[in-house]
Amino acid sequence: MRSTQRRAARPAFPAGQGAPLVSGAAGSAIEERRLRRRRRRRRVMVWTSVAGIVILVAAIGTVSTMIVSAIAAPEEVATAPEEAEAAPEPELIEFPQDEPAATSGTEPCATVRVLSSHENAEMVENLATAYNSAPRNVGGSCVTVTPAKEKSGVSATMVATGFPTLADEQKPTVWLPDSSTWVDVAQSQGATALRPEGTSVATSDIVLAMPQPLAEAVGWDQQAPTWTEVFEAAGDADLWSGLGHPEWGSFKLGKTSPLMATSGEAAMYASFGTAAGSLEALSVQDIADPAVVTAVHENELATSHYMATPEHFLWHARQAEASGTAADFLSAVIVDEKSVWDYNRGITSRDGVTRTQEAPPAEQLVPIYPADGYYAADNPAMRLTGAWIDPIESEAAADFIRFTRTAQGQEAVRASGYRDLNRQLDAGVESVGKLAADQAGVIPFPAADVVTAVQGAFPEVRKRANVLFLLDVSGSMDEPISPSDTKLTQAKKAIEAALGHFTTGDDVGLAGFAQAPDGAMVPGLISPVADIGGARDGFLGALGGIVSMGDTPLYQAVDAFTAQQAAAWSADRINAVVLLSDGENDAPNAPTIGAEQMLENLRNLHHSTPVLVFTLAYGADADVATLQSISSATGAHYYDATDPTKLQAVLGDLVTSF
C-alpha cells in the first residue's frame, strides 16, 4: 500500500484539474487545450487517491466437468489500517529449497501438460526446464512437464468447455494463465460457484510503455500521469505538434483486445474506472451507467486498433523504427513489464508464437506507472481434474506447482523477466527493461462480476470499424481442400463466421477480385460498406453468390479498393481492408499497376487517411512476401493460413483487431 508520504509527493492541483502533462510553456499550452476540450466535452472526472496492494492469490472455480484444486496454501496478507500514516514493509517470503527425488521414478513418465498464456509462456517454459532438470519420483513414476500456450481469451473458453477439440493425451493437467481474471471469464462460461483458492507464481505490472523520445517530450518519464491524463492526451489531436513534433502525427494508443489479452482487460478497467470516478470501487452498476459508457467509448476513439497480443504491437513498432521511427506506428501501448523487457533486449515476434532475437532497438521503451494505480498480472497456477487425468498425473501436477514457489522456481521466474512473490526483479531485467523496482501502486483487479461485465460491455464501447473484406475469387479458389470443401467454399464459411464479431454501428462491405478475359476486374464491389446492423442479410446473400473466375489482379485490387476505403476515412473508426488471397499477382489480359507503385500509394495514404490492410495468405501458393509487404506498408498485420484448414481460426484471430 502506498504511504501518505508517497501520495503527498505529488503536487496539489485544483479539484478535477490534475497535474499538467509537461512543465513550462509547452505544459501551459497543453493544459490550455486540455481545459478547453474538457469544457467542450462537458466531461467531469473525479479521482480518488489510490492505495493498492498486490493480490497474489487468485480465486478459481470448478469449470464445467473439471475441478480446479487448491495446490498450496497462500500466505496470509495483513490488511493495513485505513488511516495508517505509512504501511509497514511487507514481510518477505523465505522460499524453500527444492526437494527433488534421489533418483528418478520409473518410465513411462507421468506427463504434466501446462497450458499458459502467450504473455507468460517463456516463464512457464523456463519453469518446466528447471523442474525437468532434476530427478522426480511421484508415485513411483518419473515426471515430464510439457508446456503449451494459447491466447488468454481462447484458453479460458477451452477450459470452460473441457477442451472438446483436443484428444485426451493433449489436454492440460495445469492451467497457468497470466491473470486470475481469465478464471472469472472461464467461470462465466460454464463454471459453478465453488471457488477454492489457487496459487500465484509471479507478477508482472501492466504499464503504459512509450518510445523514449516521446516519453521525454511529454514529460512522463519524469512525472507519471494519471489515467485521466493518459486518456486526455490520447484524445488530443494536436498534442505532438504542440510539443514541436508534428512529424509524429496524432497520438496513437495501442491496446490489445480485452477479449484476448490481460493488458487489454487492464486498459478497459482503467477506462471504466476513470469514467466512473474510481478504479478501486468500479462496480457492475458503473459499467451499465450510460454516462460512463459514453465516456469510455470516447476514450476508445484514440485507439489505433486492437490486436490479440502485446507482441503484435511491439513487432510493428520495431518495423516502424527500422524505416524511420517507432512513433510512426504508436505513441504508447498498454503492456506488461515483461513485454517491455523483451522489446528493449531485441526480442520480437510477428505471430506471437515464433520469437526472434535482434539487436536492441535504438528507441527504447520507457515503462510508465500511472500515478493513481495500475494492475498486475498475477499468474495463478491451477491443477485441473478430469477423466483424462489419472491420480499420478494429478499428484505430479501438484509437485510441479510446489516447485514454482521454491527458491529454484522463483529464480527461474526472475530470470524470465517477472517479479517474484516478494515483487523483486532480477537486476539485469530491471536495468534493460528500465523497470521500477520499488513501485507500490498496484491495485487489485475488479471482482469477478465486474470482470465479466466489462467483457460484455466491450462490443458497445469499442471503436467502431469501417472495413471491407476483399476476397480473391480467381480460378485457383476452386481447388479442393477436403471431400466437401474447395478453397472458395471454406473462405465463405470463414467470412460468415467472422461477421459475427461485428455489431450494429460497424460498417462492413465485401468485394471480390479476378481478371476477366477482356481485362476488367470482376466482380468488384458486391456488398457496399454499410452498417452491418441493417446490411447483414445483403452481405451474406452477396457472399453466397460468389463464384470463382479468371486470373489474379492482386496489385490492382489492393490499390483500387484501399483508395476507396481511404476516400471514406473517418478518424472515429478503424479504417481497414481485410485481404484474403491464395496466389500471386497474375493479370495477363491487361496491364495493371506494379508492386512498387502499389506499395508507394499505400504508404502515401498511410500518412493522410490511413487504411490498415490486414493480409491473410490462404493456401500454399499464396505470395507470402508480397502480402507481408502490403500489411507492413499500412501498419497492419499479416496472418498465415497457408494451411487452408486453419482459415476459420486465423480469420477469427484477425477480426479481434476491430
Of 358, 386, 420, the position where a domain reaches its end is: 420
Classified as helix, coil or strand, 606 is helix
CA distance readout (Å), 641 to 211, 512, 577, 646, 654: 32, 19, 17, 6, 11
Q: Can you say whether the dihedral through the CA atoms of 478, 483, 484, 485 is positive or negative?
A: negative
pLDDT 10s digits, 587-604: 998 877 999 999 999 999
Q: What is the pLDDT of residue 29?
A: 40
Please indicate whether residue 39 or residue 499 has the higher confidence score (pLDDT): 499
Q: What is the pLDDT of residue 34?
A: 44
Q: Which of 1-15, 180-194, 565-579 has the highest average model confidence (pLDDT)? A: 565-579
* Same domain for 236 and 384: no
Give Cα 415 distance to the centre of its chain.
23
CATH of the domain at 406: 3.40.190.10
* Same domain for 176 and 107: yes
Kindly tell me if the per-residue pLDDT of 482 is higher than 50: yes
User: What's the chain's Rg over C-alpha atoms?
Assistant: 26
Q: What is the pLDDT of residue 22?
A: 40
> What is the C-alpha to C-alpha distance for residues 59 and 100, in angstroms, rounded to an integer?
29
Q: What is the pLDDT of residue 131?
A: 98
pLDDT tier for residue 271 given thresholds of 50, 70 and 90: very high
Q: What is the pLDDT of residue 197?
A: 54
Q: What is the pLDDT of residue 534?
A: 96
Q: What is the pLDDT of residue 222?
A: 95
Q: Is residue 619 part of a domain?
A: yes
**What residue numbers bound the domain in which 583 lies?**
464-657
* Same domain for 290 and 234: yes
Q: Where are the alpha helices (DSSP H) in 70-219?
A: 121-132, 152-160, 181-188, 212-218
Q: What is the pLDDT of residue 344?
A: 97
Element (H, E) at 497: helix 487-499
Q: Is residue 588 part of a domain?
A: yes
Amino acid at 413: V
> Lowest-confidence range among 177-181, 236-240, 270-274, 347-351?
347-351
449 backbone φψ class: left, alpha, beta (φ>0; ψ -120 to 50) = alpha
Q: Is residue 243 part of a domain?
A: yes
* Same domain for 342 and 214: yes
Q: Is residue 35 part of a domain?
A: no
* Same domain for 345 and 235: yes
> What is the C-alpha to C-alpha distance for residues 637 and 489, in angstroms, rounded to an integer?
24
Q: Is residue 90 part of a domain?
A: no
Kindly tell me if the per-residue pLDDT of 113 is higher than 80: yes
Please choose, from the candidates 203, 238, 451, 211, the residue with its C-alpha nearest in 3D space to the C-alpha of residue 333.
211
* Same domain for 250 and 353: yes
Can you name the residues that pair with 551 across neighbouring β-strands?
Answer: 515
* Same domain for 650 and 628: yes
Mean pLDDT over 640-647 rounds to: 88
* Same domain for 186 and 150: yes
Residue for cell digits 491443477?
383
CA distance readout (Å), 596 to 200, 473, 552, 581, 601: 51, 23, 17, 18, 9
Mean pLDDT over 419-429 rounds to: 97
> Lowest-confidence range among 59-73, 111-125, 270-284?
59-73
pLDDT 10s digits, 40-97: 333 323 333 333 333 333 333 444 444 344 333 333 333 444 444 555 677 899 999 9
8 Å CB contact between 62 and 186 = no
Amino acid at 463: K
Kindly tell me if the per-residue pLDDT of 348 is higher than 90: no
Mean pLDDT over 333-344 rounds to: 96
8 Å CB contact between 650 and 639 = yes
Q: Is residue 13 part of a domain?
A: no
Give me the percent of the chain exceeding a pLDDT of 90.
Answer: 69
Q: In degrees rounded to 5, what are phi and psi of residue 8?
A: -70, -20
Q: Where are the alpha helices (DSSP H) in 277-384?
A: 284-288, 290-300, 310-322, 337-344
Please indicate whether residue 331 or residue 309 has the higher confidence score (pLDDT): 331
Kindly tell me if the per-residue pLDDT of 261 is higher than 70: yes
CATH of the domain at 504: 3.40.50.410
Of 420, 445, 472, the position where a domain reaches its end is: 420
Number of H helices and E strands in the chain, helices first, is 23, 20
Give me the percent of the chain exceeding a pLDDT of 70.
Answer: 85
* Same domain for 477 and 415: no
Query: How many independent structural domains does the chain possess?
Result: 3
Please indicate whether residue 81 or residue 241 has the higher confidence score (pLDDT): 241
Compute the mean pLDDT over every residue in the chain, rounded to the nearest whole number: 85
Q: What is the pLDDT of residue 329?
A: 87
pLDDT 10s digits, 298-330: 999 888 778 878 888 888 889 889 888 999 888
Q: Is residue 533 part of a domain?
A: yes
Q: Is residue 86 part of a domain?
A: no
pLDDT tier for residue 191 given thresholds of 50, 70 and 90: low
Kindly tell me if the per-residue pLDDT of 240 is higher than 70: yes
